[in-house]
Chain A
Protein backbone atom coordinates (compact mmCIF):
# COMPACT_ATOMS: atom_id res chain seq x y z
CA UNK A 1 0.00 0.00 0.00
CA UNK A 2 1.07 3.60 -0.59
CA UNK A 3 2.52 4.94 2.69
CA UNK A 4 0.79 7.76 4.61
CA UNK A 5 3.70 10.12 4.07
CA UNK A 6 3.04 10.31 0.33
CA UNK A 7 -0.41 11.70 0.94
CA UNK A 8 0.92 14.15 3.50
CA UNK A 9 3.58 15.37 1.07
CA UNK A 10 0.90 15.81 -1.58
CA UNK A 11 -1.23 17.72 0.90
CA UNK A 12 1.69 19.92 1.97
CA UNK A 13 2.64 20.61 -1.66
CA UNK A 14 -0.94 21.56 -2.51
CA UNK A 15 -1.05 23.80 0.58
CA UNK A 16 2.15 25.56 -0.50
CA UNK A 17 0.85 26.03 -4.05
CA UNK A 18 -2.34 27.49 -2.59
CA UNK A 19 -0.46 29.90 -0.32
CA UNK A 20 1.79 30.89 -3.24
CA UNK A 21 -1.29 31.51 -5.37
CA UNK A 22 -2.87 33.68 -2.66
CA UNK A 23 0.28 35.75 -2.27
CA UNK A 24 1.14 36.15 -5.94
CA UNK A 25 -2.25 36.62 -7.64
CA UNK A 26 -3.54 40.14 -8.19
CA UNK A 27 -6.93 38.99 -9.35
CA UNK A 28 -9.46 38.44 -6.54
CA UNK A 29 -10.79 35.33 -8.27
CA UNK A 30 -7.24 33.96 -8.51
CA UNK A 31 -6.82 34.47 -4.76
CA UNK A 32 -10.10 32.65 -4.19
CA UNK A 33 -8.77 29.73 -6.24
CA UNK A 34 -5.66 29.67 -4.06
CA UNK A 35 -7.89 29.43 -0.99
CA UNK A 36 -9.75 26.52 -2.57
CA UNK A 37 -6.41 24.74 -3.08
CA UNK A 38 -5.58 25.24 0.61
CA UNK A 39 -8.93 23.73 1.58
CA UNK A 40 -8.34 20.77 -0.74
CA UNK A 41 -4.94 20.21 0.86
CA UNK A 42 -6.75 20.08 4.21
CA UNK A 43 -9.19 17.52 2.84
CA UNK A 44 -6.40 15.30 1.55
CA UNK A 45 -4.77 15.46 4.99
CA UNK A 46 -8.00 14.70 6.81
CA UNK A 47 -8.91 11.72 4.66
CA UNK A 48 -5.38 10.30 4.66
CA UNK A 49 -5.18 10.59 8.45
CA UNK A 50 -8.61 9.00 8.77
CA UNK A 51 -7.68 6.06 6.52
CA UNK A 52 -4.31 5.35 8.13
CA UNK A 53 -4.77 6.30 11.78
CA UNK A 54 -8.41 5.99 12.83
CA UNK A 55 -10.23 4.01 10.13
CA UNK A 56 -12.87 2.84 12.64
CA UNK A 57 -14.01 6.37 13.60
CA UNK A 58 -15.63 8.55 10.97
CA UNK A 59 -14.34 11.86 12.39
CA UNK A 60 -11.95 12.65 9.54
CA UNK A 61 -14.49 11.87 6.84
CA UNK A 62 -17.20 13.94 8.50
CA UNK A 63 -14.79 16.83 8.93
CA UNK A 64 -13.86 16.68 5.23
CA UNK A 65 -17.54 16.75 4.18
CA UNK A 66 -18.11 19.82 6.37
CA UNK A 67 -15.04 21.51 4.90
CA UNK A 68 -16.40 20.98 1.38
CA UNK A 69 -19.82 22.38 2.31
CA UNK A 70 -18.35 25.43 4.04
CA UNK A 71 -15.97 26.01 1.12
CA UNK A 72 -18.97 26.18 -1.20
CA UNK A 73 -20.77 28.65 1.09
CA UNK A 74 -17.65 30.76 1.39
CA UNK A 75 -17.11 30.80 -2.38
CA UNK A 76 -20.73 31.89 -2.89
CA UNK A 77 -20.34 34.87 -0.56
CA UNK A 78 -16.90 35.66 -1.96
CA UNK A 79 -18.05 35.66 -5.56
CA UNK A 80 -21.03 37.84 -4.63
CA UNK A 81 -18.66 40.36 -3.05
CA UNK A 82 -16.38 40.25 -6.09
CA UNK A 83 -19.36 40.90 -8.39
CA UNK A 84 -20.41 43.85 -6.21
CA UNK A 85 -16.87 45.25 -6.46
CA UNK A 86 -16.89 44.75 -10.22
CA UNK A 87 -20.19 46.60 -10.55
CA UNK A 88 -18.97 49.65 -8.65
CA UNK A 89 -15.47 49.94 -10.14
CA UNK A 90 -15.14 47.66 -13.17
CA UNK A 91 -12.14 45.78 -11.81
CA UNK A 92 -11.35 42.66 -9.81
CA UNK A 93 -7.63 43.45 -9.46
CA UNK A 94 -7.15 43.80 -5.71
CA UNK A 95 -4.38 46.38 -6.04
CA UNK A 96 -6.81 48.77 -7.72
CA UNK A 97 -9.24 48.50 -4.82
CA UNK A 98 -7.51 51.07 -2.65
CA UNK A 99 -10.02 53.65 -1.47
CA UNK A 100 -9.28 52.88 2.18
CA UNK A 101 -5.70 53.74 3.05
CA UNK A 102 -3.88 54.97 6.12
Chain B
Protein backbone atom coordinates (compact mmCIF):
# COMPACT_ATOMS: atom_id res chain seq x y z
CA UNK B 1 0.00 0.00 0.00
CA UNK B 2 1.21 3.50 -0.69
CA UNK B 3 1.86 6.25 1.82
CA UNK B 4 -1.53 7.93 1.43
CA UNK B 5 -3.31 4.63 1.99
CA UNK B 6 -1.29 3.83 5.10
CA UNK B 7 -1.85 7.30 6.52
CA UNK B 8 -5.50 7.50 5.47
CA UNK B 9 -7.02 7.12 8.98
CA UNK B 10 -4.93 9.99 10.30
CA UNK B 11 -5.59 12.13 7.22
CA UNK B 12 -9.35 11.53 7.55
CA UNK B 13 -9.30 12.65 11.18
CA UNK B 14 -7.23 15.71 10.32
CA UNK B 15 -9.61 16.65 7.48
CA UNK B 16 -12.65 16.10 9.71
CA UNK B 17 -11.24 18.20 12.53
CA UNK B 18 -10.33 21.07 10.24
CA UNK B 19 -13.64 20.80 8.36
CA UNK B 20 -15.60 21.12 11.59
CA UNK B 21 -13.55 24.17 12.61
CA UNK B 22 -14.04 25.82 9.19
CA UNK B 23 -17.76 25.02 9.03
CA UNK B 24 -18.15 26.43 12.52
CA UNK B 25 -16.75 29.72 11.27
CA UNK B 26 -18.72 29.61 8.02
CA UNK B 27 -21.98 29.01 9.90
CA UNK B 28 -21.32 31.94 12.23
CA UNK B 29 -24.66 33.54 13.03
CA UNK B 30 -26.67 30.71 11.47
CA UNK B 31 -27.47 28.74 14.59
CA UNK B 32 -29.73 26.25 12.83
CA UNK B 33 -26.92 25.01 10.60
CA UNK B 34 -24.43 24.71 13.43
CA UNK B 35 -26.47 21.87 14.85
CA UNK B 36 -25.14 19.74 12.00
CA UNK B 37 -21.54 19.98 13.21
CA UNK B 38 -21.67 16.96 15.57
CA UNK B 39 -23.04 14.90 12.66
CA UNK B 40 -20.06 15.94 10.53
CA UNK B 41 -17.70 14.89 13.33
CA UNK B 42 -19.49 11.56 13.83
CA UNK B 43 -19.48 10.84 10.09
CA UNK B 44 -15.74 11.58 9.97
CA UNK B 45 -15.07 9.27 12.90
CA UNK B 46 -17.05 6.43 11.33
CA UNK B 47 -15.15 6.82 8.05
CA UNK B 48 -11.94 6.87 10.12
CA UNK B 49 -12.83 3.59 11.82
CA UNK B 50 -13.66 1.97 8.47
CA UNK B 51 -10.40 3.21 6.92
CA UNK B 52 -8.49 1.92 9.94
CA UNK B 53 -10.08 -1.51 9.62
CA UNK B 54 -8.57 -1.87 6.13
CA UNK B 55 -5.11 -1.63 7.71
CA UNK B 56 -5.72 -4.71 9.89
CA UNK B 57 -2.76 -7.04 9.53
CA UNK B 58 -0.48 -4.49 7.84
CA UNK B 59 2.90 -4.12 9.53
CA UNK B 60 5.24 -1.49 8.22
CA UNK B 61 6.89 1.75 9.21
CA UNK B 62 6.41 5.17 7.67
CA UNK B 63 8.11 8.54 7.27
CA UNK B 64 11.70 7.38 7.90
CA UNK B 65 10.72 5.18 10.86
CA UNK B 66 8.87 7.96 12.65
CA UNK B 67 5.57 6.06 12.71
CA UNK B 68 4.51 2.45 12.73
CA UNK B 69 1.48 0.91 11.09
CA UNK B 70 0.87 -2.20 13.20
CA UNK B 71 -1.92 -4.00 15.04
CA UNK B 72 -0.95 -2.32 18.29
CA UNK B 73 -1.42 1.15 16.81
CA UNK B 74 -4.62 -0.04 15.16
CA UNK B 75 -6.05 -1.15 18.48
CA UNK B 76 -5.55 2.34 19.89
CA UNK B 77 -7.06 3.88 16.75
CA UNK B 78 -10.20 1.90 17.56
CA UNK B 79 -10.10 3.00 21.20
CA UNK B 80 -9.63 6.65 20.21
CA UNK B 81 -12.38 6.52 17.60
CA UNK B 82 -14.95 4.79 19.80
CA UNK B 83 -14.32 6.94 22.87
CA UNK B 84 -14.53 10.16 20.85
CA UNK B 85 -17.71 8.94 19.18
CA UNK B 86 -19.38 8.22 22.52
CA UNK B 87 -18.19 11.53 23.98
CA UNK B 88 -19.62 13.47 21.03
CA UNK B 89 -22.98 11.74 21.54
CA UNK B 90 -22.75 12.50 25.24
CA UNK B 91 -22.06 16.21 24.77
CA UNK B 92 -25.05 16.77 22.49
CA UNK B 93 -27.18 18.85 24.86
CA UNK B 94 -24.54 19.66 27.41
CA UNK B 95 -23.23 22.95 26.04
CA UNK B 96 -26.64 24.47 25.29
CA UNK B 97 -26.70 27.82 27.01
CA UNK B 98 -23.27 27.28 28.59
CA UNK B 99 -21.08 28.58 25.78
CA UNK B 100 -21.69 30.11 22.35
CA UNK B 101 -18.66 28.29 20.90
CA UNK B 102 -20.04 24.78 20.70
CA UNK B 103 -18.76 23.96 17.23
CA UNK B 104 -15.05 24.27 18.01
CA UNK B 105 -15.52 21.71 20.76
CA UNK B 106 -16.21 18.93 18.25
CA UNK B 107 -13.30 20.02 16.08
CA UNK B 108 -10.89 19.98 19.05
CA UNK B 109 -12.22 16.61 20.18
CA UNK B 110 -11.60 15.06 16.75
CA UNK B 111 -8.09 16.56 16.69
CA UNK B 112 -7.45 15.12 20.15
CA UNK B 113 -8.46 11.71 18.77
CA UNK B 114 -5.91 12.28 15.99
CA UNK B 115 -3.28 13.00 18.65
CA UNK B 116 -4.09 9.69 20.36
CA UNK B 117 -3.73 7.72 17.14
CA UNK B 118 -0.41 9.43 16.40
CA UNK B 119 0.83 8.82 19.93
CA UNK B 120 0.07 5.11 19.73
CA UNK B 121 1.86 4.85 16.38
CA UNK B 122 5.00 6.85 17.28
CA UNK B 123 8.28 4.97 17.02
CA UNK B 124 10.65 7.89 17.53
CA UNK B 125 11.17 10.02 20.63
CA UNK B 126 10.61 13.20 18.60
CA UNK B 127 7.27 11.88 17.39
CA UNK B 128 6.37 10.68 20.89
CA UNK B 129 7.01 14.16 22.25
CA UNK B 130 5.12 15.93 19.46
CA UNK B 131 2.04 13.74 19.68
CA UNK B 132 1.95 13.91 23.47
CA UNK B 133 2.14 17.70 23.38
CA UNK B 134 -0.51 17.80 20.65
CA UNK B 135 -2.79 15.79 22.91
CA UNK B 136 -1.88 17.79 26.04
CA UNK B 137 -2.41 21.23 24.52
CA UNK B 138 -5.73 20.12 23.06
CA UNK B 139 -6.76 18.72 26.44
CA UNK B 140 -5.85 21.94 28.29
CA UNK B 141 -8.14 23.89 25.98
CA UNK B 142 -10.94 21.34 26.33
CA UNK B 143 -10.75 21.37 30.15
CA UNK B 144 -10.91 25.17 30.20
CA UNK B 145 -13.60 25.24 27.55
CA UNK B 146 -16.21 27.02 29.69
CA UNK B 147 -14.21 30.23 29.85
CA UNK B 148 -16.63 32.08 32.12
CA UNK B 149 -16.86 29.23 34.61
CA UNK B 150 -14.27 29.63 37.42
CA UNK B 151 -14.14 25.87 38.07
CA UNK B 152 -13.42 25.05 34.45
CA UNK B 153 -10.67 27.70 34.41
CA UNK B 154 -9.15 26.42 37.59
CA UNK B 155 -9.11 22.81 36.43
CA UNK B 156 -7.45 23.90 33.19
CA UNK B 157 -4.73 26.00 34.83
CA UNK B 158 -3.84 23.22 37.25
CA UNK B 159 -3.78 20.67 34.45
CA UNK B 160 -1.66 23.01 32.36
CA UNK B 161 0.92 23.81 35.04
CA UNK B 162 1.38 20.16 36.04
CA UNK B 163 1.41 19.11 32.41
CA UNK B 164 3.96 21.69 31.29
CA UNK B 165 6.35 20.72 34.09
CA UNK B 166 5.86 16.99 33.51
CA UNK B 167 6.50 17.30 29.79
CA UNK B 168 9.59 19.45 30.45
CA UNK B 169 10.99 16.80 32.77
CA UNK B 170 10.15 14.03 30.29
CA UNK B 171 11.91 16.01 27.60
CA UNK B 172 15.05 16.32 29.71
CA UNK B 173 14.98 12.54 30.06
CA UNK B 174 14.64 12.21 26.29
CA UNK B 175 17.65 14.49 25.76
CA UNK B 176 19.68 12.22 28.07
CA UNK B 177 18.57 9.10 26.17
CA UNK B 178 19.60 10.81 22.95
CA UNK B 179 22.94 11.74 24.47
CA UNK B 180 23.68 8.23 25.70
CA UNK B 181 22.59 6.38 22.57
CA UNK B 182 23.09 8.98 19.84
CA UNK B 183 19.68 8.30 18.32
CA UNK B 184 16.02 9.02 18.98
CA UNK B 185 14.60 6.03 17.10
CA UNK B 186 13.16 3.46 19.49
CA UNK B 187 14.38 0.40 17.58
CA UNK B 188 17.87 1.85 17.18
CA UNK B 189 18.03 2.69 20.88
CA UNK B 190 17.30 -0.96 21.64
CA UNK B 191 20.00 -2.03 19.17
CA UNK B 192 22.59 0.19 20.88
CA UNK B 193 21.91 -1.53 24.20
CA UNK B 194 21.74 -4.99 22.65
CA UNK B 195 25.09 -4.50 20.93
CA UNK B 196 26.63 -3.51 24.26
CA UNK B 197 28.96 -1.01 22.59
CA UNK B 198 28.16 1.81 24.99
CA UNK B 199 30.82 3.96 26.53
CA UNK B 200 30.55 3.02 30.18
CA UNK B 201 30.84 6.50 31.65
CA UNK B 202 27.49 7.53 30.14
CA UNK B 203 25.47 4.46 31.03
CA UNK B 204 24.63 5.65 34.56
CA UNK B 205 22.56 8.46 32.98
CA UNK B 206 20.00 5.89 31.84
CA UNK B 207 18.42 5.42 35.27
CA UNK B 208 17.56 9.10 35.82
CA UNK B 209 16.54 9.32 32.16
CA UNK B 210 14.08 6.43 32.52
CA UNK B 211 12.59 7.91 35.69
CA UNK B 212 12.16 11.25 33.93
CA UNK B 213 10.46 9.57 30.98
CA UNK B 214 8.17 7.79 33.41
CA UNK B 215 7.23 11.15 34.97
CA UNK B 216 5.97 12.38 31.61
CA UNK B 217 4.09 9.20 30.71
CA UNK B 218 2.81 8.77 34.26
CA UNK B 219 1.39 12.28 34.18
CA UNK B 220 -0.76 11.44 31.15
CA UNK B 221 -1.96 8.21 32.78
CA UNK B 222 -2.33 9.87 36.24
CA UNK B 223 -0.14 7.37 38.09
CA UNK B 224 0.29 8.20 41.72
CA UNK B 225 3.19 10.51 42.28
CA UNK B 226 2.06 12.42 39.18
CA UNK B 227 -1.70 12.34 39.74
CA UNK B 228 -2.44 15.53 41.72
CA UNK B 229 -3.87 17.36 38.73
CA UNK B 230 -6.48 14.79 37.87
CA UNK B 231 -9.20 15.20 40.54
CA UNK B 232 -9.24 18.98 40.05
CA UNK B 233 -9.13 18.82 36.27
CA UNK B 234 -11.84 16.12 36.23
CA UNK B 235 -14.15 18.02 38.56
CA UNK B 236 -13.61 21.39 36.91
CA UNK B 237 -13.83 20.28 33.28
CA UNK B 238 -17.14 20.15 31.41
CA UNK B 239 -18.41 16.61 32.11
CA UNK B 240 -18.08 15.31 28.50
CA UNK B 241 -14.44 16.41 28.59
CA UNK B 242 -13.98 14.55 31.88
CA UNK B 243 -15.36 11.44 30.18
CA UNK B 244 -12.87 11.90 27.36
CA UNK B 245 -9.91 12.64 29.68
CA UNK B 246 -10.54 9.55 31.75
CA UNK B 247 -10.21 7.30 28.70
CA UNK B 248 -8.50 8.89 25.69
CA UNK B 249 -5.31 10.45 27.10
CA UNK B 250 -5.00 7.57 29.56
CA UNK B 251 -5.06 5.06 26.70
CA UNK B 252 -2.54 7.18 24.78
CA UNK B 253 -0.28 7.30 27.84
CA UNK B 254 -0.38 3.51 28.18
CA UNK B 255 0.27 3.06 24.45
CA UNK B 256 3.35 5.28 24.61
CA UNK B 257 4.56 3.75 27.87
CA UNK B 258 4.30 0.23 26.46
CA UNK B 259 5.79 1.00 23.09
CA UNK B 260 8.72 3.05 24.38
CA UNK B 261 9.63 0.64 27.17
CA UNK B 262 9.13 -2.53 25.13
CA UNK B 263 10.68 -1.30 21.90
CA UNK B 264 13.55 0.83 23.23
CA UNK B 265 14.40 -0.41 26.73
CA UNK B 266 13.88 -4.18 26.87
CA UNK B 267 17.44 -4.34 28.26
CA UNK B 268 16.26 -2.59 31.42
CA UNK B 269 13.08 -4.61 31.94
CA UNK B 270 14.14 -5.88 35.37
CA UNK B 271 14.48 -2.28 36.56
CA UNK B 272 11.35 -0.75 35.11
CA UNK B 273 9.10 -3.72 35.79
CA UNK B 274 9.93 -3.50 39.50
CA UNK B 275 9.38 0.27 39.59
CA UNK B 276 6.09 -0.06 37.70
CA UNK B 277 4.89 -2.82 40.04
CA UNK B 278 5.54 -0.55 43.05
CA UNK B 279 3.85 2.42 41.40
CA UNK B 280 0.90 0.23 40.45
CA UNK B 281 0.33 -0.85 44.06
CA UNK B 282 0.53 2.72 45.38
CA UNK B 283 -1.72 4.02 42.59
CA UNK B 284 -4.48 1.47 43.19
CA UNK B 285 -4.48 1.86 46.93
CA UNK B 286 -4.41 5.65 47.03
CA UNK B 287 -7.02 6.01 44.29
CA UNK B 288 -9.44 3.64 46.00
CA UNK B 289 -8.97 4.86 49.55
CA UNK B 290 -9.46 8.51 48.64
CA UNK B 291 -12.41 7.68 46.37
CA UNK B 292 -14.22 6.18 49.40
CA UNK B 293 -14.90 9.55 51.02
CA UNK B 294 -15.89 11.59 47.95
CA UNK B 295 -19.40 13.00 47.72
CA UNK B 296 -19.11 14.57 44.26
CA UNK B 297 -19.54 11.82 41.69
CA UNK B 298 -17.12 13.38 39.18
CA UNK B 299 -14.44 13.56 41.84
CA UNK B 300 -15.16 10.00 42.93
CA UNK B 301 -14.84 8.83 39.34
CA UNK B 302 -11.57 10.79 39.05
CA UNK B 303 -10.06 8.86 41.95
CA UNK B 304 -11.57 5.62 40.70
CA UNK B 305 -9.96 6.22 37.31
CA UNK B 306 -6.61 6.67 39.09
CA UNK B 307 -7.23 3.29 40.71
CA UNK B 308 -8.08 1.76 37.32
CA UNK B 309 -4.78 3.07 35.95
CA UNK B 310 -3.16 1.12 38.78
CA UNK B 311 -4.95 -2.11 37.82
CA UNK B 312 -4.04 -1.63 34.16
CA UNK B 313 -0.42 -1.09 35.13
CA UNK B 314 -0.39 -4.52 36.82
CA UNK B 315 -0.64 -5.99 33.35
CA UNK B 316 2.29 -4.03 32.01
CA UNK B 317 4.46 -4.49 35.11
CA UNK B 318 4.09 -8.26 34.67
CA UNK B 319 4.70 -8.26 30.92
CA UNK B 320 6.19 -11.52 29.60
CA UNK B 321 5.86 -11.41 25.83
CA UNK B 322 7.92 -14.54 25.22
CA UNK B 323 5.98 -16.59 27.76
CA UNK B 324 3.91 -19.47 26.31
CA UNK B 325 1.02 -18.50 28.59
CA UNK B 326 -2.13 -16.84 27.29
CA UNK B 327 -1.64 -14.07 29.84
CA UNK B 328 1.34 -12.12 28.50
CA UNK B 329 0.43 -8.90 30.28
CA UNK B 330 0.03 -6.64 27.27
CA UNK B 331 -3.16 -8.35 26.08
CA UNK B 332 -4.52 -7.86 29.61
CA UNK B 333 -3.79 -4.14 29.36
CA UNK B 334 -5.55 -3.93 26.00
CA UNK B 335 -8.60 -5.93 27.14
CA UNK B 336 -8.84 -3.86 30.30
CA UNK B 337 -8.66 -0.63 28.31
CA UNK B 338 -11.39 -1.82 25.93
CA UNK B 339 -13.77 -2.74 28.74
CA UNK B 340 -12.87 0.36 30.74
CA UNK B 341 -13.53 2.54 27.70
CA UNK B 342 -17.17 1.45 27.43
CA UNK B 343 -17.88 1.18 31.16
CA UNK B 344 -16.27 4.45 32.20
CA UNK B 345 -17.56 6.57 29.32
CA UNK B 346 -20.96 4.96 29.91
CA UNK B 347 -20.95 5.96 33.58
CA UNK B 348 -20.03 9.49 32.57
CA UNK B 349 -22.87 9.57 30.03
CA UNK B 350 -25.24 8.67 32.86
CA UNK B 351 -23.67 11.39 35.02
CA UNK B 352 -24.13 13.92 32.19
CA UNK B 353 -27.76 12.87 31.72
CA UNK B 354 -28.37 13.35 35.44
CA UNK B 355 -26.52 16.66 35.47
CA UNK B 356 -28.50 17.96 32.46
CA UNK B 357 -31.79 17.09 34.17
CA UNK B 358 -31.03 18.17 37.74
CA UNK B 359 -27.88 20.33 37.62
CA UNK B 360 -26.29 18.29 40.40
CA UNK B 361 -23.23 16.04 40.66
CA UNK B 362 -23.62 15.11 44.32
CA UNK B 363 -23.99 11.39 45.06
CA UNK B 364 -26.79 11.85 47.67
CA UNK B 365 -28.90 13.51 44.94
CA UNK B 366 -28.97 10.16 43.13
CA UNK B 367 -31.36 8.92 45.82
CA UNK B 368 -34.43 7.20 44.47
CA UNK B 369 -33.23 7.35 40.87
CA UNK B 370 -34.80 3.95 40.19
CA UNK B 371 -38.24 5.57 40.53
CA UNK B 372 -37.35 8.76 38.68
CA UNK B 373 -35.75 7.03 35.69
CA UNK B 374 -35.54 3.22 35.76
CA UNK B 375 -33.60 3.09 32.46
CA UNK B 376 -30.90 5.48 33.71
CA UNK B 377 -30.61 3.74 37.07
CA UNK B 378 -30.51 0.28 35.48
CA UNK B 379 -27.79 1.05 32.94
CA UNK B 380 -25.75 2.99 35.48
CA UNK B 381 -25.97 -0.01 37.81
CA UNK B 382 -24.67 -2.40 35.12
CA UNK B 383 -21.82 -0.04 34.25
CA UNK B 384 -20.86 0.39 37.91
CA UNK B 385 -20.83 -3.41 38.29
CA UNK B 386 -18.46 -3.55 35.35
CA UNK B 387 -16.13 -0.97 36.94
CA UNK B 388 -16.25 -3.05 40.14
CA UNK B 389 -15.27 -6.13 38.15
CA UNK B 390 -18.29 -8.39 38.66
CA UNK B 391 -18.26 -11.48 36.36
CA UNK B 392 -20.30 -11.32 33.13
CA UNK B 393 -19.20 -7.73 32.55
CA UNK B 394 -16.30 -6.28 30.57
CA UNK B 395 -14.59 -5.06 33.73
CA UNK B 396 -14.22 -8.61 35.03
CA UNK B 397 -12.53 -9.83 31.87
CA UNK B 398 -9.88 -7.08 32.04
CA UNK B 399 -9.23 -7.60 35.74
CA UNK B 400 -9.00 -11.36 35.24
CA UNK B 401 -6.39 -10.98 32.50
CA UNK B 402 -4.16 -8.50 34.37
CA UNK B 403 -4.30 -10.44 37.65
CA UNK B 404 -3.56 -13.68 35.79
CA UNK B 405 -0.58 -11.99 34.12
CA UNK B 406 0.78 -11.01 37.54
CA UNK B 407 0.39 -14.59 38.79
CA UNK B 408 2.00 -15.87 35.58
CA UNK B 409 5.25 -14.02 36.35
CA UNK B 410 4.94 -14.82 40.07
CA UNK B 411 4.18 -11.27 41.23
CA UNK B 412 1.85 -12.75 43.85
CA UNK B 413 1.92 -9.69 46.12
CA UNK B 414 0.97 -7.45 43.21
CA UNK B 415 -1.99 -9.69 42.33
CA UNK B 416 -3.06 -9.85 45.97
CA UNK B 417 -2.96 -6.05 46.40
CA UNK B 418 -4.99 -5.78 43.20
CA UNK B 419 -7.66 -8.17 44.44
CA UNK B 420 -7.92 -6.46 47.84
CA UNK B 421 -8.27 -3.13 46.05
CA UNK B 422 -11.02 -4.46 43.81
CA UNK B 423 -12.91 -5.35 46.98
CA UNK B 424 -12.38 -1.85 48.45
CA UNK B 425 -13.62 -0.30 45.20
CA UNK B 426 -16.88 -2.23 45.47
CA UNK B 427 -17.81 -0.09 48.51
CA UNK B 428 -17.94 3.22 46.76
CA UNK B 429 -19.39 1.94 43.48
CA UNK B 430 -22.16 0.09 45.29
CA UNK B 431 -22.71 3.12 47.52
CA UNK B 432 -24.03 4.92 44.45
CA UNK B 433 -26.23 1.89 43.73
CA UNK B 434 -27.47 1.97 47.34
CA UNK B 435 -28.57 5.59 46.94
CA UNK B 436 -30.25 4.84 43.60
CA UNK B 437 -32.23 1.82 44.79
CA UNK B 438 -32.74 1.99 48.54
CA UNK B 439 -32.68 5.61 49.67
CA UNK B 440 -36.03 7.34 49.08
CA UNK B 441 -35.76 10.71 47.40
CA UNK B 442 -37.45 14.03 48.16
CA UNK B 443 -37.94 14.67 44.44
CA UNK B 444 -40.40 12.59 42.49
CA UNK B 445 -40.08 14.27 39.09
CA UNK B 446 -39.07 12.14 36.11
CA UNK B 447 -35.44 12.49 34.93
CA UNK B 448 -35.62 12.96 31.16
CA UNK B 449 -32.76 11.74 28.94
CA UNK B 450 -32.01 13.26 25.54
CA UNK B 451 -32.12 10.75 22.63
CA UNK B 452 -28.38 11.11 21.82
CA UNK B 453 -27.46 10.37 25.43
CA UNK B 454 -29.83 7.40 25.51
CA UNK B 455 -28.14 6.01 22.38
CA UNK B 456 -24.67 6.49 23.90
CA UNK B 457 -25.77 4.89 27.15
CA UNK B 458 -27.32 1.99 25.26
CA UNK B 459 -24.17 1.40 23.18
CA UNK B 460 -21.93 1.53 26.24
CA UNK B 461 -24.10 -0.84 28.29
CA UNK B 462 -24.57 -3.24 25.40
CA UNK B 463 -20.82 -3.34 24.66
CA UNK B 464 -20.00 -3.81 28.35
CA UNK B 465 -22.31 -6.81 28.57
CA UNK B 466 -21.27 -8.17 25.18
CA UNK B 467 -17.57 -8.17 26.10
CA UNK B 468 -18.43 -9.75 29.43
CA UNK B 469 -20.72 -12.49 28.11
CA UNK B 470 -19.11 -13.28 24.77
CA UNK B 471 -15.43 -12.39 25.23
CA UNK B 472 -13.88 -14.73 22.64
CA UNK B 473 -13.60 -12.32 19.67
CA UNK B 474 -12.36 -9.53 21.92
CA UNK B 475 -9.69 -11.73 23.48
CA UNK B 476 -8.64 -12.72 19.97
CA UNK B 477 -8.54 -9.04 18.93
CA UNK B 478 -6.36 -8.15 21.91
CA UNK B 479 -4.04 -11.13 21.34
CA UNK B 480 -3.51 -10.08 17.72
CA UNK B 481 -2.96 -6.46 18.75
CA UNK B 482 -0.05 -7.34 21.00
CA UNK B 483 2.13 -7.44 17.92
CA UNK B 484 4.33 -4.36 18.10
CA UNK B 485 6.49 -3.45 15.18
CA UNK B 486 10.10 -4.29 15.93
CA UNK B 487 9.37 -6.29 19.08
CA UNK B 488 7.91 -9.34 17.36
Chain A residues within CB distance 8 Å of chain B: 8, 11, 15, 18-19, 22, 28, 31-32, 34-35, 38-39, 41-42, 45-46, 48-49, 53-54, 57, 59-60, 62-63, 66-67, 70, 73-74, 77-78, 81-82, 84-85, 88-89, 94, 97-100, 102
Contacts and interface: CB of A to CB of B under 8 A. Distances in A.
Nearest to B232: A100
B100 to A, nearest CB: 15
A84 B153 contact: yes
Contacts of B174: 42, 63
Interface string B161-190: 100110111011011101100111000000
A54 B180 CA distance: 11
B144 A45 contact: no
Interface in B264-300: 290, 299
A70 B133 contact: yes
Contacts of A46: 175, 178
B155 interface: yes
B161 A28 contact: yes
A45 B164 contact: no
Contact of A62 (B126, B141, B164, B290): B126
A3 to B, nearest CB: 13
Contacts of B178: 46, 49, 59-60, 63
Interface in B229-278: 231-232, 235-236
Contact of A99 (B129, B141, B151, B161): B151
A66 B154 contact: no
Nearest to B171: A42
24 contacts: A19-B165, A28-B157, A34-B165, A35-B164, A35-B168, A38-B168, A41-B172, A46-B175, A54-B182, A54-B183, A63-B125, A73-B133, A77-B141, A78-B160, A81-B153, A84-B156, A85-B154, A88-B148, A89-B150, A94-B157, A97-B158, A99-B150, A99-B236, A102-B290
B75 interface: no
Given A45-B176, A63-B178, A99 B154 contact: yes
B184 A100 contact: no
Pick from B133, B141, B235 the residue with the most CB of A within 10 Å. Answer: B133
A89 B167 CA distance: 28
Nearest to B144: A81
B413 interface: no
A38 B309 CA distance: 28
A102 B157 contact: no
A8 B183 CA distance: 17
A78 B144 CA distance: 11
Contacts of A28: 157, 161
B126 A42 contact: no
A85 B290 CA distance: 28
A64 to B, nearest CB: 9
B235 A78 contact: no
B135 to A, nearest CB: 12
Contacts of B129: 63, 66-67, 70
Contacts of B236: 99-100
A66 B126 contact: yes
Contacts of A48: 179
Contact of B172 (A42, A63, A70, A94): A42
B147 interface: yes
Contacts of B125: 63
Contacts of B172: 15, 38, 41-42, 45
Contact of A38 (B160, B169, B176, B184): B169
A74 B157 contact: no
Contacts of B168: 18, 35, 38-39, 42
A98 B129 CA distance: 31
Nearest to B156: A81
B164 A78 contact: yes
Given A41-B172, A73-B137, A100-B235, A59 B184 contact: yes
B130 interface: yes
A80 B252 CA distance: 25
B153 A88 contact: yes
Contacts of B176: 45
B217 interface: no
Given A38-B172, A59-B178, A70-B129, A100 B151 contact: yes
B140 interface: yes
Interface string B37-62: 00000000000000000000000000
B175 A85 contact: no
A99 B184 CA distance: 42
B165 A38 contact: yes
Nearest to A8: B179
Given A11-B175, A63-B178, A99-B154, 6 more contacts: A39-B171, A49-B178, A54-B183, A57-B182, A77-B160, A97-B154
